[in-house]
Structure 1
Amino acid sequence: MRGSGPGPSSGWEWENAAAGAVAGFATVAALHPLDVVRTRFQVNDGRLSNLPSYRNTGHALYTIARAEGLRGLYSGFSPAVVGSTVSWALYFFFYNKIKQRYSKGSSDQLSPGHHLLSAAEASTLVCLFTNPVWLVKTRLQLQTPVHQSRPYSGFYDALRTIQKEEGFRGLYKGIGPALLLVSHGAIHFTVYEELRKISIHFKSHKERMSQHGDELLNSFDYAVLGASSKVAAIMITYPYQVIRSRLQQRPRLDGSPKYSGSWHVLKETFRFEGVRGFYKGITSTLLKNAPAASITFVVYEKTRSLLGLARSQR
């Protein structure tokens, strides 16, 4: 049997990277405006902000479209495409390679603990590679017509300016909570794997068929599994995302950061906004990420199957 889900593959490992890259691009292209809204909600603490106030997700989309046009809704699109495509490609590649290491060539299914460790290791590696890209995406998404600093003209200008004004360390702002968000990917993939095994087991008994697991599940199954596992991960780890976004804001005009570190964000957010402050933007996050996870896993599974079929026919 070929590697199941995002599981160990006995074939061409690069299938996982290629399928992940296609899935990442498809997800960003379809749902980027909701990501812009989420980021602006996350950083708007109601105090000395250059961002307008939005009542809800719908109002935010309308306000951004009216004031900034389509360009505003797709601000940060280039780094989002690069980040998502590269992240998913690396993630699926690392995840499957790590799972192969734990399986030691055995065809037996890995335990939930091994799935958790595999996902955590893969997330850590991806985080270290891609943090500068996500930092630029956040900065570009927060630029508005009333922004007082010189605006970044684009992805590469932002990278150069951050490097020049804030040094190499500036590109890794928010890396602390980003590494804590390793737990997000670990939870997401562990829940996905376990739900996937349950679904295959249920269908194999119900339909009394002899197909392999991959053949029993269809696109709708993968969509439901992807969305369900993503919602579980979001609800558990969302405060880390708020902390990371707030740390990644552009410094003030005098060069000083709004927050000195993760602990400062934690204290200030709780002091002025309470627990609700750590869940700002969660509605737009769920609206974006539940279907995004569905798209990602459906595209990933189908692309990988097509690549595997093409390889077998050579």
Structure 2
Amino acid sequence: MENSSGYKDYVAGLLAGVSTVVVGHPFDTVKVKLQKHNTEANGIKYKSGLHCATRILKTEGVKGLYRGATSSFFGMAFESSLIFGIYSQSKKALQGGNQSDKPQPSVIIPAAAFGGTIISFVLCPSELVKCRMQVQGTDSLVPNSSKYNGPLDCVAKTFKSDGVTGIFRGGFTTLLRESIGNAVFFCTYEHLRYYIHAKLKDSSHDPSNLIDIGVGVVTGGLSGIAFWSVVLPLDVAKTVIQTTQCKSSTRNPFSVLKSIHARAGLKGCYAGFGPTVVRAFPANAAAIVSWELAVKLLGIKRD
């Protein structure tokens, strides 16, 4: 499908990551708030994602929706650069001389899962800082918390209290989420892209840049929804593990999910599903459109 051009794949991925944060971070803040506060033993704090967003805007303004965005920008830009770059390079290596226009799950799944595994080591510390910043705030529905003055202060205090292992808290859960989720994402993306382009070739219309953008929006958006629909329970467990201040609390995602399920049922395991799905489409559509545009501008050959 592609003739990858080394560093260019990583540059294209970086641009995709920046687009993802700009579009998706406010939704992510709502998701994290719901996952933290609506799964605790002392009861539900927010009625819905809209209720949560309204509370944040009322008490903190737009700035509240972008809490933790600094670490997210750096983390997501680097992570996106790696995932798109590693995926493209790994897929090319696995295909070898057997290049095929048709999607090959035997190539896509290991390439995407490998990329997801690698980026989990980058994502874990950046998301720990992001999540700890996001659950703070002045919202009157939750305990007023201002333990951290900023991302660097959060890193410093985490290192001081928990050491190196503290900053990688939730690492195994992040690895599971990213390896499984990216395999789902790229499988969905590659197959959708292939079948849509096949239909366009059969039609009498020549593909234009506008049509390409439309294809990117649809394939990216639906792939993002597929990603989160599969791995959201793991993400809920990760949020709980990373925002818990108790050092002795379990880091086993399955134990955490079992506990959440006992308290809040399946709904608790999918806490934040509304804002996550609402975010998934535009954020991943922006990522794919930006990536494909960068691929064209950088001269990376595609089918």
Relative to the length of structure 1, the TM-score reads 0.86
Unaligned runs of 5+ in 2: none
Contact 2:236 2:269 in 1 (8 A): yes
1:163 aligns with 2:159: yes
Where do 5+ consecutive residues of structure 1 fail to align? none
Cα offsets for 1:202-222 (capped at 9, x unmatched): 11122386x8xx979510111
Counterparts of 1:250-265 in structure 2, within 5 Å, are 250-252=244-246, 256=247, 259-265=250-256
1:233 alignment counterpart: 227
Q: Secondary structure at the match of 1:193?
A: helix
Which residue in the other structure is 1:299 paired with? 290
Which residue among 212, 222, 226 is the counterpart of 1:218? 212
Report the counterpart of residue 247 of structure 1 in structure 2.
241
Deviation at 1:291, TM superposition (A): 0.9
The separation in 1 between residues aligned to 2:144 and 2:127, in whole angstroms, is: 22
Structure 2 residue corresponding to 1:81, chosen from 64, 68, 73? 73
Residue 55 of structure 1 aligns with an amino acid whose one-letter code is K
SS in 2 for 1:207: coil
- Report the CA distance between 1:68 and its aligned residue: 2.1
Partner Cα distance (2:288, 2:282) in 1: 10
Q: Is 1:174–2:170 an aligned residue pair?
A: yes
Indicate which of 181, 189, 194 corresponds to 1:184.
181
1:175-200 CA-to-partner distances (Å, cap 9, x unmatched) read 12212111111101011001111112
Query: Which of 40, 51, 59 is the equivalent residue of 2:33?
Result: 40
Question: 2:135 & 2:250 partners in 1: Cα distance?
Answer: 16
Distance 1:97 1:290 in 2: 26
Q: What's the offset of the Cα at 1:263?
A: 3.4
* 2:147 aligned partner, one-letter code: P
Confirm or deny: 8 A CA contact 2:29 2:134 kept in the other structure. yes
Q: CA deviation at 1:150?
A: 5.6
Distance (whole Å) between structure 2 residues aligned to residue 262 and residue 85 of structure 1: 26
Q: Aligned residues: percent identity?
A: 26
Counterpart for residue 274 of structure 1: 265
Given candidates 128, 134, 138, the residue that maps to 2:127 is: 134
CA distance in 1, matches of 2:251, 2:6: 42
Q: 1:97 aligns with which of 89, 94, 103?
A: 89
> Which residue type is aligned with residue 284 of structure 2?
A
CA offset at residue 48 of structure 1? 4.3
Deviation at 1:72, TM superposition (A): 1.5
What is the root-mean-square deviation in Å for CA atoms of aligned residues? 2.4
Q: Deviations over 1:218-271 (max 9, x none)?
A: 10111001111221222222111111111011405xxx4554532331221111
Q: Distance in 1 between matches of 2:17 and 2:211?
A: 21
Greater shift after overlay, 237-246 or 147-156? 147-156
* Contact kept? 1:246, 1:259, Cα under 8 Å: no
TM-score normalized by the length of structure 2: 0.89
Task: Verify the 8 A CA contact 1:28 1:80 in the aligned structure 2.
Answer: yes
